[in-house]
Amino acid sequence: ITFIDNGRVSFSNPPRQPLYEFEDTLGGGKPKAEAAAEAMRRIFPNVDAQGVQMSIPMPGHAVSPAELESTRLTVEKLDTLVQEHDVVFLLTDSRESRWLPTMLGTLHRKIVICVALGFDSYVAMRHGVYPDTDDATRSRLGCYFCNDVVAPTDSLTDRTLDQQCTVTRPGLAPIASGTAVELLTTILQHPLGGLAPAPTSGSNPDSSPVAPEQEGVFGVPDHQIRGYLVGFRQHAIVGQSSDMCTACSPKIITAYREHGFDFLLRAFNNTLVAEDAPHVPIAVEDDAANVPENYSYLETLTGLAALHRQTDDIMADIEWSDAEDADAAAGDTDDDFEAV
- Residues annotated as catalytic are 165
The amino acid present at 70, given as its one-letter code, is: S
Question: Is the Cβ–Cβ distance between 108 and 83 less than 8 Å?
Answer: yes
CB neighbours of residue 266 within 10 Å: 21
Q: What is the CA radius of gyration of the chain?
A: 23
Q: Are strands 111-117 and 121-126 parallel, antiparallel or unpaired?
A: antiparallel
* Cα–Cα distance measured from residue 124 to residue 130, given in angstroms and rounded to the nearest whole number: 20
140: Cα within 13 Å, side-chain hemisphere: 24
CB neighbours of residue 128 within 10 Å: 24
Three-state DSSP at 194 gives helix
Q: What is the DSSP letter of 220?
A: P
Three-state DSSP at 229 gives coil
Question: Is the Cβ–Cβ distance between 298 and 286 less than 8 Å?
Answer: no
Question: Is the Cβ–Cβ distance between 216 and 190 less than 8 Å?
Answer: yes
Q: What is the DSSP letter of 8?
A: B
The region that residue 111 occupies, defined by phi over 0 for left and psi between -120 and 50 for alpha, beta otherwise, is: beta
- Order of strands across the sheet with 111-117? 87-90, 111-117, 121-126, 224-228, 233-237
Alpha helix ranges (H) inside the chain: 32-43, 68-84, 99-107, 161-164, 172-188, 250-259, 261-269, 297-302, 304-316, 323-329
